[in-house]
Structure 1
Amino acid sequence: MEIVELAAILIVLLFAILASGMWIALALAGVGLVAVMTKVATPPGQVLATSIWAASNSWDLTALPMFIWMGEILYRTRLSEDMFEGLAPWVQGLPGRLLHVNVVGCAIFAAVSGSSAATCATIGRISLPELLKRGYDIKLALGTLAGSGTLGLLIPPSIIMIVYAAATDQSIARLFIAGVLPGVMLATLFSGYVMIWALLNKDRMPPPDPVTSFANRVVASRHLIPLILLILGVIGSIYGGIASATEAAVVGVFLSLVMSWWMGSLDWANFRAALLGAARTSCMIAFILAGAAYLTAAMGFTGIPRALAEWIGAFNLANWQLLTALTFFYVMLGCFLDGISMVVLTTAVIMPLVEKAGFDLIWFGIYVVLVVEMAQITPPVGFNLYVLQGMTGRNIFSIASYTLPLFLLMCVAVGMVIAFPQIALWLPSTMFDAR
């Protein structure tokens, strides 16, 4: 069978299985089994065992359940409420006022969550009732929340960065720090849009709140102390060389448990719910990684990745043309798959093209996270859209339309990272290569 025909059959089969509602992990493994069986001399069972063991036997993946557990613990504390009280007085003087809490709050919570959906849900649970009660535009409130929630993927610690690092054998610590400046850049773009919108639509803004004195702002900032200490404990331990990314995840769990106990939120019911929630999410991701590892190994036996790389290479595409094609590819894929599945599913096919083009794999990881962020707010499988639909009851396509301006800003961010790679590479080269 010709490789092109086999690739087409496998793609059609994959989407057919996914459309049937089967678990993503089983869909990936099933397509992998079909691919391996096309090679008569290849034992499917042996490939299954070795590929899944190789994908699972990674010390770096230990950080995954730890960071997920940390986010589950924080989700059940008063940390997000305190963050709103601490941030609100400082943003009241900006055009857009409390709408900036969505952006800044998501950016800060992303530094202790690692999940886009968890960031969106946690900040939305606190900010939306306050914004609606004060008369802020519901469309802009939902749009900024859905878009800013994606910062949970980019600002470290990021679950999807851990998955990418494990799939491509890259340094988690380097990836984490590479996401800092792009994350700040994207949050700045979002806040800039809020200010411009507020200046152009003054009639749709609620009356301003009474001016808060500087002293009262400082007093309100005490609510941010626990969050700042947690960020310093987790991120500072990595960048200070005290702990690896895996060890820092354990530090984060310990600190979040201590803070939860200190705030009075740690009881047996919350502890059990956080542990079970982390276990379910971690098992789901591990299952997807196992299925994707089998499919990756099977693709290697078929020779499809190599043939695809040679086929695309024959077009002699410039790097910017290749990246443009990959951007459209990931956005389209994001209409059907979640971010983690996108990363593990495409690694085997995309990496040969990326390496042949000479891209830095740390930089490419940040690029991938940015385009996966875009997929988080594209229907019909946009996780942040589902989160907000569950919170507000609004149609998912309506929420997607509110998020369109922020989606376009993400396109701008992707273009900036492509045009200026040092946005992602300057911090890792400064902090690690100088040692």
Structure 2
Amino acid sequence: MDLFTLSLILVAVLFVCLALGLWVGFSLIAVGLVAMTLATPAPVGAVFGTKAWAALNIWDLTALPMFIWMGEILFRSRLSSDLFTGLAPFTRRLPGGLLHVNIMGCALFAAVSGSSAATTATVGRMSLPELKARGYDDKMAIGTLAGSGTFGFLIPPSIILIVYGAATEQSIARLFLAGVLPGLMLAAMFGGYTMFWAWRNRHLMPPPEPPAPWREKIRAAALLLPTVGLIVAVIGSIYGGLASPTEAAVVGVVGALAISGLSGGLDRKGAWDSLRGAAVTTCMIAFILVGAAFLTGAMGYTGIPRSLAAWIGDQGFSQYALLAALLVFFIVLGFFLDGISIVVLTVSVILPMVLAAGIDPIWFGVFLVLVVEMSQITPPVGFNLFVLQSITGKGIFTIARYAAPFFFLLVAATVILTLFPQIALWLPSTMSAR
């Protein structure tokens, strides 16, 4: 059987499995089984066992359950209400007013959760009712939240950067630092667009609120201190060389427990639910990693990745042409798969091409996460769309339409990052220079 026919069969098997509603991990394993059955007499069981063990026997992955647990704890705490109350006095006089609470709140919560869906749900459950009660336009209230919720994938501690680092054997600490400035740039772009929209659509904005007195601002700032302190403790300990990502994750969990305990927002049931939620999410990601590792091994037997890499090498694509092709490829893939599945499914095939083109793997990790963020707000499987559907009751295609301007801002941010790679590489380079 020629490689083209085999490739078509494997793609068809993958989409049939996904269309039948099989879990992504099962679907990847099924494709791997078909690939090995058609391409090689090698023992399937031995290959599966070896690849599964290798996929999970990675020290860097130990940070994953701890960061997930930290986000689960804070998700069940009073952090969302404190974020809204703390940010509102500082944003109400900006063009766009309290819409900026969505953007800033998501940026802050992303820096302590690592999850896009958790960021969207936590901020949305508090901000959307408040914005609606104050007369803000539904389209922008939901759109800013859908777009800003994607920060959870980029701003460290990012779960998807941990997965990428483990899959490519890159430094998790350097990847975390590489995500800081692009995350801040993206937040600034979203804020700038919101100001421009508010200026152009003043008739859709509620009447301006009076400026907050300094006493109110001081009280509001005090509510933000625990979140800022936790961010500094986690990211600062990594940047300062005081802790590895795994150790920083433990610091984050202890800090999250302390914040939740002192604020009275976490009872025994909430603590148990947070632990169970972290276990379920970790197992889901581990299952996807096992399936992807087995599929990668199976694909190696078929020879498809080598042939694809050789073909791309023969085309003589420049770096920009290769990145443009990958951008379109990942956007299309994002219509059908979630972000983590996209990363673990493609990175073993794509990375050799990227390295051969002279592209820094740390920079490419940030590029990949930016593109994967787009999949969170594109139907039919955008996770942020489903989260907001459960909160607002609106259809996912309606929410996707509201989020469309922020999708294009993500594309623009990807172009800027490509033209100015030091946005992602400057902080990791300062860490390496120490």
Match of 1:177 in 2: 177
| Aligned-partner residue type, residue 301 of structure 1 | Y
1:308 CA displacement: 0.5
| Aligned-partner residue type, residue 420 of structure 2 | F
1:214 CA displacement: 2.7
2:422 counterpart of 1:394: no
Trace 1:22-421 onto structure 2 (pairs within 5 A): 22-421=22-421
Deviations 1:89-144 (A, max 9, x none): 01112100100000011001100010000000000011101100000000000000
Matches of 1:201 and 1:266, distance apart in 2? 41
1:234 CA displacement: 1.1
**Contact in 2 for aligned 1:305/1:352 (Cα 8 Å):** no
Matches of 1:404 and 1:69, distance apart in 2? 31
TM-score (norm 2): 0.99
Percent of paired sites with the same residue: 62
| Aligned-partner residue type, residue 130 of structure 1 | E
Aligned length: 434
| Aligned-partner residue type, residue 246 of structure 1 | T
Deviations 1:67-87 (A, max 9, x none): 111111001111111111111
Matches of 1:336 and 1:40, distance apart in 2? 29
1:45 CA displacement: 0.9
**Contact in 1 for aligned 2:107/2:148 (Cα 8 Å):** yes
Matches of 2:366 and 2:132, distance apart in 1? 34
| Aligned-partner residue type, residue 404 of structure 1 | A
**Contact in 1 for aligned 2:93/2:209 (Cα 8 Å):** no
Matches of 1:223 and 1:414, distance apart in 2? 34
1:40 CA displacement: 3.5
Matches of 2:107 and 2:68, distance apart in 1? 17
| Aligned-partner residue type, residue 5 of structure 1 | T
**Contact in 1 for aligned 2:40/2:301 (Cα 8 Å):** no
TM-score (norm 1): 0.98
1:348 CA displacement: 2.0
Matches of 1:40 and 1:389, distance apart in 2? 45
**Contact in 2 for aligned 1:299/1:348 (Cα 8 Å):** no
- Match of 1:93, SS? coil
Deviations 1:252-272 (A, max 9, x none): 111111111111123210111
Matches of 2:430 and 2:37, distance apart in 1? 48
Deviations 1:269-319 (A, max 9, x none): 011110111111111110011011000111111111110011122222221
**Contact in 1 for aligned 2:417/2:423 (Cα 8 Å):** yes
Matches of 2:391 and 2:39, distance apart in 1? 49
Matches of 1:118 and 1:311, distance apart in 2? 40
Matches of 1:390 and 1:399, distance apart in 2? 11
Matches of 2:266 and 2:143, distance apart in 1? 33
- Match of 1:314, SS? helix
